[in-house]
Amino acid sequence: MTPMSNPRSSFKMTAQRDDALASAGTSRAAVGKVSATDVSVFYGDKQALFDVSLDMPDRMVTALIGPSGCGKSTFLRCINRMNDTIPGARVDGKIILDGEDINDRKVDPVLLRARVGMVFQKPNPFPKSIFENVAYGPRIHGFADNKTELADIVESSLKRAGLWKEVADRLQAPGTSLSGGQQQRLVIARAIAVSPEVILMDEPCSALDPIATAKIEELIDDLRSQYCIVIVTHSMAQAARVSQRTAFFHMGAVVEAGATDEIFTNPRDTRTQDYITGRFG
Amino acid sequence: MLIWIALLGLILFSVTAYAAGRRKVLSAAGGRARLMHSLPGYHGAYLALWTAAPAIILLLLVSLFGAQIEEIVLRADPPAAVSTLPDSTQDVFYNDVVATVTGGQVSQTIYDGALGSAFAEKLVQARDIHRSLTTGALIAAFILALAGAAMAWPRLSADFAARPRVERWIAVLFLACSVVAVLTTLGIVASLVWESWRFFQAVPVFEFLFGLTWDPQIAIRADQVASSGAFGAVPLFMGTFLIMMIAMTVAAPVGLFAAIYLSEYAGPTVRAVVKPLLEILAGIPTVVYGFFAALTVGPLFRGAFNSLGAQFIGGPLDGLGLYLMQVQNQMALVAGAVMGIMLIPFVSSLSDDIINAVPQSLRDGSLAMGATRSETITRVIMPAALPGVMGALLLAVSRAVGETMIVTMAAGLQARATFNPLDTVTTVTVQIVTLLTGDQEFDSPKTLSAFGLGLTLFLITLMLNIVALRIVQRYREQYD
């Protein structure tokens, strides 16, 4: 049985993964956990992405930067096949997750999304209690056999998201009663409760104040040791702070990709240079 | 008649005033609108409003209250032959005099003898009053129009602020329209309360609300057999409730699920076809549903139940079989089922709006967790939309309670306290129709009971609507 077809097995695999890859650091030879080859996306007749190829290594944060409308969010939504939910959207090309093409007809997008979690731009807690928000994924995927196990998963997820201390005494309060930054961490807790292998973040801090942003960035840095994280951001400072690898998108194509240090100190393409020095975008 | 011609004249006058006012400021500013405070059109409108509005208001008041004024003046010195008459006959007398002059509806009373000469005398007086009232109104309107124009004309200049002043006039116009709507509603409620109060003097409130027999017969002669009617409204409200429940059993699930399909599953093409179709269903007049129920669904149901009953005859369920064999065309089930079909588009289009109002981010959030569409609907979208959907259902309930045509045609007229859907029942609205159709005198408890029913029904639907709107509102606030 492939890990793809059973989320439970992938749940266990996640726990057993060794940390070998983490030591790869910023080396350019990093192995892609997710690897995209010639990905093009069409919305109806309009092409939004042009032959994007990109490796996103495990235990690292890959930042996607670029001006508005450059296709970085579109690319992100290819990785968990969220583009499927948009009528008229078509994705060409290959995206390999752990050696398997996620666009293969045998792959069920619903199960894929349990392995590839996503955090959105605006915090979107469900209209349920804090506990139920985090328990949502484990419940629908049957990760907990009884209430104690479920409570354990909720607690450990909230702890990993750095929210446990703030909400431990009011787990039954509605998720929407939290502040924006807390909501965003709640949503991250909800995403990691199903033990995904990849976490996609679509401008997770753009609706937050600087202090909440700092907390989320800290959290991203913590989570890096266990997940492959891909983050779309408008803030180059944020990309520089949290990511190990950076890809610069422009007009629906990847202009330059590589180790974050290199991109920011020694960009090879003039467009990248212009963008990171603030000349456009 | 003259007043309407005058009204037309006033409008023509004000159109002229508009053009004149426009021209005046334009020439004052040397033809350059840029130098003026307000556009030339506002100056024209300002002048036209001051010309026409006060005079039109006066004419409207006169045409609305002219007849009353005439009657008051006429009654000031009553002839001897009239003042000895009972009050109600006097009312008829004066009413006839005024009506003869203004061309209204005249009663068929024949006035002869002393009364005849009194009538002729008052007729002359009434003609006089009518003429002077009309001429007076016309002259006053003419003077008002001239005065308004004369007042506004000198003000017009390049830096006169006509724009905000016209704006104020427009605000007053809108206010007046909303006041008309509110006053009409208040008037209806007041008359309902007033007539019900008269009814409840004849029939105690307690008997009306809790009595189990509805038989609104009132004796024509005092010595008639069975001269007292029974006004216990419980059977009517039970019938209304029964039919409403049947209707909601059909409309709530079908409407809601149709809405879920339309908003969550249907592609743009399906949606473009199905939504208008559902809206056509909403546009069918209820009387058409009524005869559809009476002529098609009723016989169909009856046939089904009768042949089902035939199966039981001679078996252990012989009694039930006999009963089913006797089921008639008219029954609560038919009316309720057809009413439910009528409510489907209502429920589904309201629920569709509410489900669509659930933010897309919640759908994305749930799908991105690896939930299927139906898990997303049952676990995230429906809980979020539930208050709104409840509101929509309550609105449907209050429509079902107020619906008349279908029930009149398909449920029968017998007031029975029953919850058996195969019985003929009657509802509050149907009884109101029956009580008030045909020739009726308007002071017997029989006809007045319609107001009692109307008031009770009004209070029930009012409560339902308030609760429903509250729920919908609270739900809206959550996401705005």
Domains (range + CATH), chain A = 35-99+107-276 (3.40.50.300)
| Number of neighbouring beta carbons within 10 Å of residue B152 | 21
Inter-chain touch A113–B369, beta carbons under 8 Å: yes
Give me the interface pTM, i.e. the ipTM.
Answer: 0.83
Take residue B13 and report the two structure tokens written for it.
């006058």
Amino acid B224: pLDDT: 56
Amino acid B221: pLDDT: 56
DSSP secondary-structure letter at A229?
E
Task: Tell me the shortest Cα–Cα distance from A145 to chain B, in angstroms.
Answer: 18
Inter-chain touch A137–B361, beta carbons under 8 Å: no
Amino acid B422: pLDDT: 86
Tracing tokens 């569709």 back to the chain, one arrives at B352
The model's pTM: 0.73
More confident residue, B72 or A166: A166
Q: Over range B446-460, report the average pLDDT.
A: 89
What is d(CA B145, CA A233) in angstroms, rounded to the nearest whole number? 69
Quote the distance between the C-alpha of residue B355 and its chain's center: 29
Confidence of residue A80 (pLDDT cuts 50, 70, 90): very high
Quote the distance between the C-alpha of residue B100 and its chain's center: 32
Question: A203: which residues sit within 8 A by CB, 6+ positions away?
Answer: A73, A121, A232, A233, A234
Amino acid B218: pLDDT: 59
More confident residue, B264 or B76: B264
Residue B348 burial by Cβ neighbours in a 10 Å radius (0-12, 13-18, 19+) = buried
Q: Over range B441-449, report the average pLDDT.
A: 78
Helical axes B40-75 vs B2-28, angle rounded to 10°? 160
Confidence of residue A14 (pLDDT cuts 50, 70, 90): very low
AA identity, residue B36 = M
Strands A61-65, A228-232: parallel, antiparallel or unpaired by DSSP? parallel
Degrees to nearest 5, angle at CA B165 with B162 and B170: 120
Quote the distance between the C-alpha of residue B349 and its chain's center: 22
pLDDT tens across A220-239, in order?
Answer: 998 999 999 999 998 888 99
Helix (H, G, I), strand (E, B) or coil at A253: strand
Degrees to nearest 5, angle at CA B464 with B344 and B278: 15
Question: A84: which residues sit within 8 A by CB, 6+ positions away?
Answer: A109
| Percentage of chain B modeled with pLDDT above 70 | 95
The residue of A124, A132, A133, A199 whose CB has the most chain B CBs within 10 angstroms, and thus the best one to mutate to test that interface, is A124
What is d(CA B465, CA B457) in angstroms, rounded to the nearest whole number? 12
pLDDT tens across A36-65, in order?
Answer: 999 999 998 899 999 999 999 999 999 999
Strands A46-57, A32-43: parallel, antiparallel or unpaired by DSSP? antiparallel
Residue B1 burial by Cβ neighbours in a 10 Å radius (0-12, 13-18, 19+) = exposed
Compute CA distances A123 → A106, A175, A200, B213, whole Å: 32, 10, 14, 61
Tracing tokens 């995206």 back to the chain, one arrives at A95
Q: Over range B65-88, report the average pLDDT.
A: 79
On whether the CB atoms of residues B400 and B246 are closer than 8 A, the answer is: no
Inter-chain touch A7–B370, beta carbons under 8 Å: yes
What is d(CA B465, CA B395) in angstroms, rounded to the nearest whole number? 6
What is d(CA B24, CA B155) in angstroms, rounded to the nearest whole number? 11
| Number of neighbouring beta carbons within 10 Å of residue B374 | 11
Q: Over range B14-21, report the average pLDDT.
A: 92
Amino acid A280: pLDDT: 67
**What is the residue-wise DSSP string for B394-419?**
HHHHHHHHH--HHHHHHT-S------
Inter-chain touch B362–A127, beta carbons under 8 Å: yes
Amino acid A17: pLDDT: 37
Nearest chain B residue to A135 by CA: give it.
B369
Chain B residues with beta carbon closer than 8 angstroms to that of A111: 370
The residue of B369, B386, B476, B480 whose CB has the most chain A CBs within 10 angstroms, and thus the best one to mutate to test that interface, is B369
pLDDT tens across B27-44, in order?
Answer: 888 878 777 888 888 999
Q: Select from B395, B447, B394, B407 the least CA-distant residue to B236.
A: B407
Architecture in CATH for domain B229-479:
Orthogonal Bundle (1.10)
Amino acid A11: pLDDT: 39
- Residues in a beta bridge with A257: A247
What is d(CA B451, CA B468) in angstroms, rounded to the nearest whole number? 25
Helix, strand, coil % over all residues of chain A, rounded to 5: 45, 25, 35
Chain B residues with beta carbon closer than 8 angstroms to that of A89: none
Q: Does A113 touch chain B (CB under 8 A)?
A: yes
Quote the distance between the C-alpha of residue B350 and its chain's center: 21
| Number of neighbouring beta carbons within 10 Å of residue A44 | 11
Amino acid A281: pLDDT: 54
Quote the distance between the C-alpha of residue A132 and its chain's center: 22
Confidence of residue B222 (pLDDT cuts 50, 70, 90): low
What are B's interface residues with A at a Cβ cutoff of 8 A?
267-268, 359, 361-372, 375, 379-380, 383-384, 478
Inter-chain touch B368–A80, beta carbons under 8 Å: yes
| Number of neighbouring beta carbons within 10 Å of residue B376 | 21
Q: At A246, which helix (H) or strand (E)?
A: strand A245-250
Q: Over range B321-341, report the average pLDDT.
A: 89
Confidence of residue A130 (pLDDT cuts 50, 70, 90): very high
Chain B residues with beta carbon closer than 8 angstroms to that of A190: 365, 369
Confidence of residue B1 (pLDDT cuts 50, 70, 90): low
Asked if residue A245 has pLDDT above 50, the reply is yes
Chain A residues with beta carbon closer than 8 angstroms to that of B383: 126-128
Confidence of residue B334 (pLDDT cuts 50, 70, 90): very high
Q: Does A198 touch chain B (CB under 8 A)?
A: no
The residue of A10, A11, A82, A85 whose CB has the most chain B CBs within 10 angstroms, and thus the best one to mutate to test that interface, is A85
Q: Does A117 touch chain B (CB under 8 A)?
A: yes
Which of A110-119, A236-245, B116-125, B135-144 is predicted least confidently? B116-125
Amino acid A22: pLDDT: 39
Amino acid B362: pLDDT: 92
More confident residue, B476 or B366: B366
